[in-house]
Amino acid sequence: MTPGPDSNVRIDLALNHCTDHARGKGIQLADAISHIGSNSFCFAAFLLAVPFVQPVPLGPLTMICGATFMALGWQMVSGKPHPQLPKAAGELRIQGKFWLAVLNLSQKLLKVCRIFTKERLETWVSGSRGQRLVGWLILIGGALLAIPVANLPLNNFFPALMIIFACLGWLERDGLMILVSLAWGVVTILYFALVTLALIFFGKQIAEWLHLF
């Protein structure tokens, strides 16, 4: 399931296809990825991760996308040739200003990232081994994204970057992006640990203050 030489072209065409539909009646995510082939796992994960690259929590969409990332990741780990999206995600309609903004940002992110991505360390993103590695990164990123840590602004931001760079590694055949994805995973865990410690500390302080009264 290694990306072919026309990988970039297919992804660009898929984004343009979604954009055209989003301006009209829209298109369901399941239909949008049906013609992409071996890149459909990472295309879907990349597209769903992009809305979280900002500080504002997205409410119910977080849980839908978190479950979808875990499902896509597990299917990649299991060696599935094509993704089977959870019902809520597959029926997600790409339509309107919100999704047009997401698609526009996705195209800009790809354009910027292609300045420094290139085919290298391909053993990290080739064959069944590469597929499993990318799948695990997407799955773990989805699990981290779904964790409700005090509902703080950056809860989703760091896991989304972990997923995006894992997808870039696969789509662009750049093994270095896998290391970047792992780095964002470490940053996410450290951030959650610091937030948890801060909550425990300030919780105790507040409890002691209240006890005085």
pLDDT in tens, 44-78: 999 999 999 988 778 788 888 999 999 999 999 99
Lowest mean pLDDT among 39-48, 88-97, 154-163, 193-202: 193-202
Confidence of residue 208 (pLDDT cuts 50, 70, 90): low
Q: Using one digit for the tens of pLDDT, what is the confidence trace for 101-138? A: 999 999 999 999 999 999 999 889 988 999 999 999 99
Of 134, 138, 115, 113, nearest to 124 by C-alpha is 134
Helix and strand element counts for the chain (H, E): 9, 2
pLDDT of residue 5: 43
pLDDT of residue 105: 92
Of residues 6 and 99, the one with the higher pLDDT is 99
Question: Helix 157-171 and helix 7-22: axis angle, to 10°?
Answer: 130
Distance CA(194)–CA(1), nearest Å, equals 38
pLDDT of residue 85: 87
pLDDT of residue 206: 60
**For residue 4, pLDDT beyond 60:** no
